[in-house]
Structures are given as C-alpha cells and as structure tokens.
Amino acid sequence: MRKSTALRRMLEGPEIVVLPGAYDALSARLAEQAGFSTVFTTGFGFSAATLGAPDIGLMTASEILERARHVVEAVDVPVVADMDTGYGNPLNVIRTVRECVNAGVAGIILEDQEWPKKCGHFEGKRVIRAEDQVQKLRAAVEARGDDDLVVIGRTDARGPLGLDEAIRRGRLYREAGADVVFVEAPQSLDELKAITAAFPDGTPLFANMIEGGKTPVLSSSELQALGFKVVVYPLSALFAAASAIREIYRELFETKTTAGRQSALVGFREFEEIVAAPRWRETETRFATR
C-alpha cells in the first residue's frame, strides 16, 4: 500500500491523527520508535537544524525536498511534509507536488503566505490573494495524478486579516480540492471552537500546537472533542533537543567532563539500535568481498 493511501485511511478512521514533528531523519526514527503511526517534517525545524536560523523563508525548495526525502527513507510510516508556499506560482507547485509524490511523501501542507514566508506564529506575515491560492491548490490536486497524496490547504490570514477572513479562505481552499483545512494560529479556545463550528461536520480540520505559540496547547483528545481531525506538535522534539544539548554542553564546558551526566545520555549500544546499526552490519556481512 502506498504511504499516501495509508494516511488517507487514517483520516477516514475514527481517531484524530497525531503528527509528531521531526527536524531530521534521526528525530523521525525516534518518533516512529515511540509508536507514532505518522511523522511530520517541520520547516521551522529544518531551518533551525540546517542553518541555525529562524523560519523566515531562507530554505530553498531543493533543500526542503532533500531533507524530506531523508525522513521518508528513514521511517516506514507515512510522512506529512511542510512544503511552505509550494515555492512559487501554480507551475512551481506542480513541480513541488510531483517531486513529493516521487519521493514517497504521503501528505503536504501548502500555505497562502507571500514569499519569503514566516513561521505561522511569527508577527508580520502577509498573504497572497485567496483566488491565487485557490489556483495553486487546484494545480496541486491535478499534479498528484493517481497518487493518494493528501493536500492540506493552510491559511495564515488570521494574523493580518482576521479570523473571519481566515475561515472564508479555509472554505475556498476546501472547495478547491484541499483534503484537509488548516487555519493557522487561532489565538484562543473560543477561536478554535469558531473554526470547527464554521465547517460542515466531517470536514477534516488541522490544528497546530506550538509550545509558547499563539494558540493554546491542548491534548489530542481535547482537540478531537472540539472537532479537529489532525493535530501536529511540530516543535516539541526540537525544543526538547535544544534544551538537552544546551545542558550537556554547559556541563562539559564548566566541569570539563560529562561523567556526571551519564544518566541523561542515551547509551552507545542503545543508540546503535536507534540508527539500525545491527541491520547495516548484517547487510555488510552478506555482501562482503573478503
């Protein structure tokens, strides 16, 4: 079964789909090993891990696609990829979608920001005309061909234009063929409720839970009760890793050793299991030349 088909079946099931954010192939493997049935590639995380820079449109399409391919190859579960704006007009979206299908990506997010885009929870976002985004989504739906790639239509209009306009755009994007509607950065529980109330029952709606962001962080069960079908926790792992790495480096700098922090570290043998070293050794043995 195609991974996109598997993801589509999850959307048709009774439970909310929970997406843990992965910022590289290693974090994706850890998410899968924790038991998650899907993984999300975070553009914010890619920018931070690759460039040490904020999510302000510095990553190119080819850089994002390359890292998304690494994640797809590292795990056996469906991968939903953040494809920003599609990197241009409908023609660019067509190429982006085809590249994602060829890479085995199961679902993509396409947003209506102007380029260069910004993290959905940053200030100063600007959006393109809704009609232009409709055309980009129509192009994406056509470009996926007979693949089951899930297209998530995201609007960032809440910040610059208000919630009513964001909801209007969400409806337009659903009519244009988006499988899932994503109204980014609602700013209260009441706004989350207003979003679910604005769409017909059964419309797959997407929520974004960023610790410290504009939207109150709820559990997946709470969001399901509100009427959301998909929830992403895109930066939890990135923030946790940054905290842990900072602490171990601080310890090393101050004490000149990590001996007192061994309990906070993954063991060498355990890490070998995480990255499938035994499997690679077995393959090496099978193809040994001498």
pLDDT band at 46 (very low <50, low <70, confident <90, very high): very high
Q: pTM of this prediction?
A: 0.96
Alpha-carbon torsion 187, 188, 189, 191, what sign?
negative
User: At residue 289, does pLDDT exceed 90?
Assistant: no
Q: Which domains does the chain have, with CATH numbers?
A: 3-240 (3.20.20.60), 242-286 (no CATH)
How is residue 117 annotated by DSSP?
P
Specify the pLDDT at position 170.
Answer: 98
Rounded to the nearest integer, the mean pLDDT of the chain is 97
pLDDT band at 58 (very low <50, low <70, confident <90, very high): very high
Q: What angle do CA 213, 131, 151 make, to 5 degrees?
A: 60
Segment 172-191, tens digit of pLDDT? 999 999 999 999 999 999 99
Determine the average pLDDT of the residues in 158-181.
98
Determine the average pLDDT of the residues in 38-67.
97
Q: Give 91-99 contacts, CB < 8 A, sequence gap 24+.
A: 91/139, 92/61, 93/136, 93/139, 93/140, 93/143, 94/139, 94/140, 94/142, 94/143, 95/143, 96/61, 96/65, 96/140, 97/139, 97/140, 97/143, 97/144, 97/149, 97/151, 98/143, 99/65
Segment 275-286, tens digit of pLDDT? 999 999 999 999
User: At residue 66, does pLDDT exceed 90?
Assistant: yes
User: At residue 109, does pLDDT exceed 90?
Assistant: yes
Percent of the chain with pLDDT over 90: 99
pLDDT band at 290 (very low <50, low <70, confident <90, very high): confident
User: At residue 11, does pLDDT exceed 90?
Assistant: yes
Lowest-pLDDT choice from 112-116, 251-255, 258-262: 258-262
Segment 113-126, tens digit of pLDDT? 999 999 999 999 99
Specify the pLDDT at position 278.
Answer: 96
Specify the pLDDT at position 102.
Answer: 98
User: At residue 165, does pLDDT exceed 90?
Assistant: yes
